[in-house]
């Protein structure tokens, strides 16, 4: 997605949004931004975009689960989102006999809809609470301010909390703590699976096509939100009824052309557009390469087992998809940041800032302090990545680490028997869930390889004391790969965490000594405590200082160039945002042109029968070859349009976001970005940024023609 606009002279407009850049707060668009939207083609009023007292577009947009966006598309609470957002719910409803992940699923009546653990949150209102927050921390030092803020936030959100109506507030820091906005949400807990295409459609192209254009993925799933008869949130009950939403999106099958207006609402998860050159250097040189290498290893071992056994594939599918998604992202991010010389551009801007700040005590030492802060933490950064992405990348080690709190309770004589029983019951329940998702073969290889990589790649002074010495004494040379393999094999063979009989014996006579002797727990505990005792305080101080400097730097940027403030937007933080742009083709490199849509012709060209990534249902291939497109055909292309691209500014969390035309009609679902602009979390590229969207006409075709669920189509308000 896009770089900040940099003039050759590196003017002070570096942090001013340009072109299609910007994730805007819907209640604070400002006249300049709204007028830009109108110039680009928007036909709606400000009140139709966001209103407290009347229904508006914001009322159709929801947080889906814990990290995606969804939209209501009918007056009966029907929700569209991405397939990968509903993936866990689809997998959870599947069995080997009824494999909805593999075969797809559609409920042909509401009675057939499947209960899920998903919750959805609707935005009720947005309130600027900056004054209340600042009054609550007035006069405090930075450290005391950080400690006090949660208490201040709670006092603010307590005023709007309403359990009966599912209302709760959440305070978001904007512009690195220079502004605070409270979003008030209403949470619904009864959300049911209505439909999903086969995984071969929903993930067509797999890892090969991930973050790539052209793309032919039918990335959608369908759910319905239920509540009580008076519209209140409630736990799952057959007495509940479909929600009557304040607003729902009409669905357009009219089509569009290159250059047409496109608008996206949603919940972008996180950007760091105001990152310093120091942060980019650390990311490029240490953090991203470490993460990519460790995830690459984990994926290799998981994939080897998944292709052998459908049951293992089903078991690991959701975890594998999440690991793979950001493995490729962070690899591409580093490449784009280096390609566009983002670090050097930031350095040039920071030099200008330092020159401006000279003689201003509040700002003149900011860059020097940043340099000191990064110099203090950088030597330990790789070790932290290896702990989080490596050691904790083993499901067995991660579960073992979750027992550290139990170990602490068992070790304290003052812990009551009731507390211990509660902790043991929780550990037993978590163990059951862990074992259900565990693949022993891949996990054993991951654990052994990580232990070896940590030993070879991390400064010996940062190793857990005695861990590798003990391994060497029992298993032999630490230069021999077999040493680590044999060690891991023994861990899996001897741990009580995988042995029902041993676990039952432990429950009868629980003790800290018994837990600490377990080889899996001993492994996780050694690395976690090594980090917690020695390095966690250093990291906390680093993060805390960065936050303090970031707030001051952001404030200084605004003072240095006040004219740009009206066109500045806060970093994404999973609060509702709107972005606008156009459907648009692009030229990624010399002599290459990418069209703005992909069609069924491309699906047939990519189709490989029986392939792990490019297989498709036989029925779909037959329908496409017959050109049985029905009312969903694109008349301009004389084909079924599968996906399209826009210039909208989005990021993770926008998955499932509605892509709307100038009148607020749904034309697609956003689901990815393009590889050429994977630096978008840090820098927004005005030429290459594209959002990849599944065309709603392909969604409807899959529901109707492929799935035979005409009942769902009849529920929608189609714009023809």
Write out the catalytic residue numbers. 84, 219, 655
Angle between helices 536-560 and 519-534 (to 10 degrees): 50
**Residue 666, beta-bridge partner list:** 251, 660
Alpha helices by DSSP H, 340-439: 342-357, 366-385, 395-401, 404-411, 417-436
Bridge partner residues of 192 (DSSP): 115, 224
The CB density around residue 7, as the number of other CB atoms within 10 Å, is 9
The whole-angstrom separation of Cα 119 and Cα 67 is 11
**Sign, Cα dihedral of 569, 571, 574, 580:** positive
| Residue 656 φ/ψ region, left for φ over 0, alpha for ψ in the -120 to 50 degree band, beta for the rest | left
How far apart (Å, rounded) are the C-alpha atoms in residues 28 and 47? 12
Q: How many CA atoms lie within 13 A of 388 on its CB side?
A: 14
Q: Can you spell out the DSSP letters for 633-698?
A: -BTTTTB-EEEEEE-----TT-TTPEEE-TTS-EEEEEEEE-GGGTTTTT---TTT--EEEEEHHH
DSSP symbols for 129-143: -HHHHHHHTTT--HH
> Is there a contact between 80 and 656 (Cβ–Cβ < 8 Å)?
yes
Q: Which residues contact 672 (CB under 8 A, 6 or more apart)?
A: 210, 211, 215, 217, 219, 691, 692
Q: Which two tokens stand for residue 391?
A: 């050691």
Q: Which of 590, 679, 653 is nearest to 332 (CA)?
A: 679
In terms of C-beta distances under 8 Å and separation of at least 24 residues, what long-range contacts does 440-445 make, across chains too?
440/492, 440/498, 441/301, 441/305, 442/301, 442/302, 442/304, 442/305, 442/316, 443/394, 443/395, 443/396, 443/492, 444/488, 444/489, 444/491, 444/492, 445/301, 445/488
């Amino acid at each position: 997605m896009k770089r900040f606009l940099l003039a050759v002279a590196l003017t002070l407009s570096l942090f001013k949004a340009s072109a299609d850049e910007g994730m805007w707060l819907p209640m604070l668009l400002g006249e300049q931004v709204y007028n830009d939207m109108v110039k680009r083609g928007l036909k709606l009023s400000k009140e139709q975009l966001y209103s407290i007292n009347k229904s508006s577009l914001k009322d159709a947009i929801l947080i889906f689960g814990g990290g995606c966006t969804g939209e209501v598309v009918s007056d009966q609470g029907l929700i569209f989102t991405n397939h990968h957002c509903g993936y866990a719910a689809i997998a959870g409803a599947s069995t080997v006999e009824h494999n909805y992940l593999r075969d797809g699923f559609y409920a042909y009546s509401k009675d057939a809809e499947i209960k899920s653990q998903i919750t959805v949150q609707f935005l009720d209102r947005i309130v600027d609470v900056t004054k209340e927050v600042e009054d609550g921390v007035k006069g405090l030092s930075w450290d005391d301010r950080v400690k006090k803020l949660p208490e201040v936030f709670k006092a603010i959100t307590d005023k709007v909390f309403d359990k009966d109506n599912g209302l709760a507030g959440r305070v978001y820091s904007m512009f690195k703590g220079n502004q605070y906005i409270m979003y008030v949400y209403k949470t619904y807990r009864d959300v049911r699976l209505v439909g999903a295409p086969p995984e071969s459609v929903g993930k067509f192209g797999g890892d090969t096509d991930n973050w790539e254009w052209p793309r032919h993925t039918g990335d959608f799933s369908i759910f319905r939100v239920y509540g009580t008869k008076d519209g209140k949130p409630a736990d799952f009950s057959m007495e509940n009824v479909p929600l009557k939403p304040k607003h729902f999106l009409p669905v357009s099958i009219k089509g569009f052309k290159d250059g047409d207006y496109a608008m996206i609402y949603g919940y972008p998860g996180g950007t760091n557009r105001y990152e310093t050159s120091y942060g980019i250097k650390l990311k490029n040189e240490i953090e991203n390469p470490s993460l990519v290498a460790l995830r690459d290893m984990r994926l290799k071992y998981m994939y080897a087992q998944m292709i052998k056994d459908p049951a293992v594939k089903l078991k690991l599918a959701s975890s594998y998809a999440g690991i793979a998604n950001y493995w490729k992202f962070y690899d591409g991010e580093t490449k784009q940041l280096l390609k566009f010389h983002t670090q050097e551009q930031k350095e040039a801007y920071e030099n200008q800032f330092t020159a401006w700040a000279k003689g201003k005590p509040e700002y003149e030492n900011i860059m020097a302090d940043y340099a000191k802060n990064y110099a203090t933490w950088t030597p330990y950064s790789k070790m932290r990545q290896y702990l989080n992405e490596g050691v904790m990348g083993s499901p067995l080690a991660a579960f073992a680490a979750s027992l550290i709190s139990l170990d602490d309770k068992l070790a304290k004589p003052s812990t009551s028997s009731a507390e211990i029983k509660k902790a043991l019951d929780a550990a037993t329940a978590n163990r059951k869930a862990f074992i259900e998702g565990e693949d022993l073969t891949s996990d054993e290889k991951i654990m052994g390889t990580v232990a070896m990589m940590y030993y070879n790649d991390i400064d010996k002074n940062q190793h857990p004391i005695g861990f590798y010495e003990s391994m060497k004494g029992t298993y032999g040379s630490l230069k021999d790969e077999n040493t680590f393999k044999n060690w891991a094999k023994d861990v899996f063979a001897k741990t009580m965490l995988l042995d029902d009989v041993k676990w039952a014996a432990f429950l009868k006579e629980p003790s800290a000594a018994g837990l600490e002797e377990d080889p899996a727990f001993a492994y996780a505990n050694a690395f976690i405590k090594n980090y917690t005792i020695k390095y966690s305080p250093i990291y906390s101080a680093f993060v805390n200082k960065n936050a303090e400097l970031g707030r001051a730097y952001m404030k200084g940027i605004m003072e240095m160039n006040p004219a740009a403030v009206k066109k500045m937007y806060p970093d994404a933080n999973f609060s509702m945002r709107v972005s606008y742009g156009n459907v648009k083709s692009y030229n990624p490199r010399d002599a290459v042109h990418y069209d703005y849509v992909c069609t069924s012709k491309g699906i047939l060209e990519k189709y490989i029968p029986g392939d792990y990534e490019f297989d498709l249902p036989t029925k779909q291939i037959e329908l496409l070859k017959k050109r049985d497109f029905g009312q969903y055909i694109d008349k301009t292309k004389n084909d079924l349009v599968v996906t399209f691209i826009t210039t909208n500014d989005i990021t993770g969390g926008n998955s499932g976001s509605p892509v709307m035309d100038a009148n607020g009609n749904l034309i697609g679902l956003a689901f990815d970005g393009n590889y050429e602009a994977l630096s978008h979390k840090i820098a927004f590229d005005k030429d290459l940024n594209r959002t990849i969207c599944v065309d709603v006409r392909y969604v409807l075709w899959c529901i109707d023609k492929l799935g035979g669920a005409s009942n769902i189509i009849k529920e929608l308000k189609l714009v023809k």
